Amino acid sequence: MKKVLFIVFMVLWGCKLSKENSQGESFSENVNKVGEHITDDSATMQFFNNETHPIKPRFQPFETGSVFPKGWILNMMQNDLESGIVGALDELYPGIKADDLYYTARRGGMEDIPEMGDLVLTGAAWEKSIMWWNAETIGNWWDGFVRHAFLTKNANAMEQAHDIVNNLLNSQDKDGYIGIYKPNLRYQHEGSNGELWAQTTAFRTLLAYYEFTNTKEVLDAVERAMKLTMERYGENGKHPFDLKNAFGGVTHGLMLTDVCETLYRITGNMEYQDYATYLYKAFSTYGINRSFNDLRYPYLIEKDSLFEGHGVHTYEHIRSMLNAYYHTGYPELESAYSNMLSKLESCILPSGAGHGDEWILKKEADPTETAAEYCAMLELRNSYGSLLEKTGNVQFADAAEKLTYNGMLGARNQDGTAITYSKHDNCYRLDGKHYKGGESTNEPRYKYSPTHSEPAVCCAPNYGRNLPYFLNQMYMKADNGIAVLMYGPSELTTKMNTNTISIEQQTNYPWTNEVTFRIKTSNPLKFSIRLRKPEWSESVDFSLPKATVNLHNNFYVITKTWQPDETFSIRFINPITPQKANNDEVYVQQGPLVFAYTIPHNEHTIKRYGDSSFRDYHCLPENEDHNNLHIPESFYYERTEENELALKGKFFDTSKQKDVTVKLVPMGKTILRRVTFPLKKQPNEKVY
């Protein structure tokens, strides 16, 4: 109790001392766009009463834990768990351990305000909803940590995962409630709250644990809790989005649809899909705060408008809208889906990331002017996985690979002890400031940190969810077989009838263009393996005797009787391709990899975490040579000393007025960098 009172005192005292928040200079003006009059679009939602015609998804996900990491992915996950952010965040940000908000520290009012790290509160309206906050930090860290523990088979981490889950189980009330509120606030908020969002992050953790361990008690607990929520916040209960105001916690709650989809996959109970569809309808009915609801149906039917809201919400809500469309088959939602794809296109950076330095603000993606937040990258990539599952379109697999191997890896430092909260594709410096037009504004997100505790401890815990969720998307069930949707070192193990099957990718992809598949079956078995043909590949070379191979919808369908242990290799023929960015500059891509010019830099430590190796630091360029470079017409490539792909080409240096040899490296291995370049101006030059 003394600790809680001290925290409250320090936060309130900090508010009195300073009205300058820790969010940066552009946050507050965009977070609060609550309408003076709440828009009720119930009339527009009447089509939800029509007869449904569900659309069968093209693929079906495997159970969590069916795909394990191998090679460099396993090494990175082990490092991140044993000596990086994933395993250390609960020590680096004590609020994770100190705030037992699902059990002994549930919220009943502002007197229960959570430990907020370095966040400075000013009394702004949005801050009054902050009671829910640690549920995002803690729940997302749990989710990533538990998955890392089991996927790397780390005994100590698995024991810690058992403790996390047991505490959640012990927190469950007799009526089934699992959540963060005391009875006086539970399911009866008039204003902003985080009820559904807090349950989402906890239930995603519990369901992952259930699938790794097959502990039925855990599944039963989630189903009991969901039954209560569906009653209290359902068609016959309180409307979850009919509120006086709403900030991020309320609209994040739409992502309980992730839990519904997982429960439906596990149990086959259609009530979960019905509730997910209800949530999207309810979300679309009331337009409260324009900062958090780009994916509302009434906004999506505005075909020619641009996204303007909070990037993370926009990209994660794609999954909810898509699921409602496929569950109902409504033509109105088909139009909304089409418009969503059109709006999304203008948000995509060369790295594959959707821009949104918190807010999209009706801007088109610009590699120099618009940054990408790590949380937004994760949610967009996970939405690509859902789009791929539903549609079977390889463009979404291409997009997921490109984003993962460029934007997301390019936000991580080389030893996994820090990430950037927000980062530009063309990242010339990271010094806590945003530069534009010769002027600078404060932006605390522009640095490397293991916590980012000034703006919010959200990107750091979400970092732990990256590779585990990516592994889940790499393989899916297909008619009469298995689809290999994305490439990288990994192994799927599953059952087909009574036979055990494993498919292992032995590869250093994407750093090489070759993948060796090892197929093992308990008995000879005839089935089909579908291998995605990326749209960036001219062709895929492979030789497999006694097999029927057909190219259909950009999948190589290989049908044969597989013997108990077989191997075959494929090689992607990927041309070096110049691509035009939205800023009219050009970048270079080969296969899934975007290449960048590395800017030499110095590091300046601004915060240390005890006597550990963890620190916050800025990166300052040693020179501005990148400003003088113009891209050439053609490239040749060579291997680096680390046997990884690099490109060399003759760039034109405007300061020297001559060609110079420049090496480009994969963007995912860079700190400061330049990705796009002006075209070299010469007569008769090819323009891309």
- What size, in residues, is the chain? 688
pLDDT at residue 480 in the model: 86
Q: Are residues 551 and 591 in the same domain?
A: no
Domain with 539, as residue range(s), is 475-573
pLDDT at residue 326 in the model: 98
Query: What is the mean predicted confidence (pLDDT) over 88-106?
Result: 94
pLDDT at residue 63 in the model: 98
The domain boundary residue, chosen from 293, 326, 356: 293
Q: Within a domain: residue 504?
A: yes
Helical residues (DSSP H) of 403-465, grouped into ranges = 459-463
Q: Are residues 658 and 567 in the same domain?
A: no
Query: What is the mean predicted confidence (pLDDT) over 82-96?
Result: 96
pLDDT at residue 113 in the model: 72
Q: Are residues 509 and 632 in the same domain?
A: no
In three-state form (DSSP H/G/I as H, E/B as E, the rest C), the secondary structure along 335-384 is HHHHHHHHHHHCCECCCCCECEECECCCCCCCCCCCCEEHHHHHHHHHHH
Look at residue 19 and tell me whether its pLDDT is greater than 60.
no
Q: Which of 270, 231, 287, 277 is nearest to 256 (CA)?
A: 277
The domain boundary residue, chosen from 241, 263, 293: 293
Q: Are residues 171 and 257 in the same domain?
A: yes
Query: Residue 6: pLDDT band by 50, 70, 90 thresholds?
Result: very low
Q: Within a domain: residue 406?
A: no
Q: Within a domain: residue 114?
A: yes
Q: Which of 339, 340, 149, 143 is nearest to 255 (CA)?
A: 143
Q: Within a domain: residue 302?
A: no
Query: Residue 645: pLDDT band by 50, 70, 90 thresholds?
Result: confident
- Taking CA 422 as the corner, what is the angle to CA 416 and CA 424, rounded to the nearest 5 degrees? 105
Q: Are residues 500 and 628 in the same domain?
A: no
Say what the pTM is.
0.94
Q: Within a domain: residue 343?
A: no
Q: Are residues 249 and 286 in the same domain?
A: yes
The domain boundary residue, chosen from 573, 588, 622: 573
The residues facing 60 across adjacent strands are: 477
pLDDT at residue 248 in the model: 80
Which tens digit of pLDDT belongs to each residue from 170-208?
Answer: 999 999 999 999 999 899 888 888 999 999 999 999 999
In Å, how far from its chain's centre is CA 469? 9
Q: Are residues 569 and 627 in the same domain?
A: no
Q: Are residues 555 and 587 in the same domain?
A: no
Look at residue 688 and tell me whether its pLDDT is greater than 50.
no
CA distance 101 to 93: 15
Q: Are residues 519 and 539 in the same domain?
A: yes
Look at residue 371 and tell me whether its pLDDT is greater than 80.
yes
Q: Does the CA dihedral 453-457-461-463 come out positive or negative?
A: negative
Q: Which of 481, 637, 508, 503 is nearest to 571 (CA)?
A: 508
Which tens digit of pLDDT belongs to each residue from 500-512?
Answer: 999 999 999 999 9
Query: What is the mean predicted confidence (pLDDT) over 469-487?
Result: 96
Q: Within a domain: residue 361?
A: no
Q: Within a domain: residue 315?
A: no
The residues facing 514 across adjacent strands are: 571
Lowest mean pLDDT among 278-292, 335-349, 593-607: 278-292
Q: Within a domain: residue 461?
A: no
- Decide which of 634 and 39 is more confident: 39
Q: Are residues 209 and 270 in the same domain?
A: yes
Mean pLDDT for all residues in the chain: 90
In whole angstroms, how far apart are CA 176 and each of 86, 223, 257? 30, 9, 19
H helix count then E strand count, the chain? 19, 30
Which CATH number characterizes residue 488's domain?
Answer: 2.60.40
Q: Are residues 515 and 632 in the same domain?
A: no
User: How many structural domains is the chain composed of?
Assistant: 3
Look at residue 120 and tell me whether its pLDDT is greater than 60.
no
pLDDT at residue 59 in the model: 98
Q: Are residues 565 and 587 in the same domain?
A: no
